[in-house]
Amino acid sequence: MATEIKITKKDNYNTLRELVSQAHDLSNEDQDRLLSFIDHEVELIDQRAEKSKKYQQEHKAETDIMTDMIVDVLKESTAALSVSDIVAKIVDSTPQKVVYRLGKLFKDGRIVKNTQNVKVDGSSARKVTFYSVI
């Protein structure tokens, strides 16, 4: 089976740059304009890639302070905790932030989760997920 080679936008721009720089039927103005355009587009691609790498590094849950706080809260508890229990114990946390980190921790095998039906204020039962440290 043949391996497919992925051609990126940057590869395409570099090929275009070679073609434009070798084109003899273009005026110097047109050639300079096109080369400037291609160089600018490649620069934008590099900037986006750098920004993306920085964003990904900032948002890794395993090196996150809040993740450590969540693990500490789970370790200190004798019973499994729900998301709302965890949020109540951590300052400046939101359910969304906690759920994201719990998902990462579960995927990494650092915690376990258990879903149970719980009755709330005499209404019908609803499913609540409880988390605990392995």
How far is Cα 102 from Cα 61, in angstroms, rounded to an integer? 9
Class (C level, CATH) for 61-133: mainly alpha
The pLDDT value recorded for residue 63 is: 60
First to last CA, the chain: 43
pLDDT tens digits along 66-110: 999 999 999 999 999 999 999 999 998 999 999 999 998 999 899
Average pLDDT of the residues of the chain: 89
Helix (H) or strand (E) holding 34: helix 28-58
List the domain boundaries for the chain.
9-58, 61-133
Residues 23-41: b if buried by 16+ CB within 10 A, e if exposed = eeeeeeeebeebeeebeeb
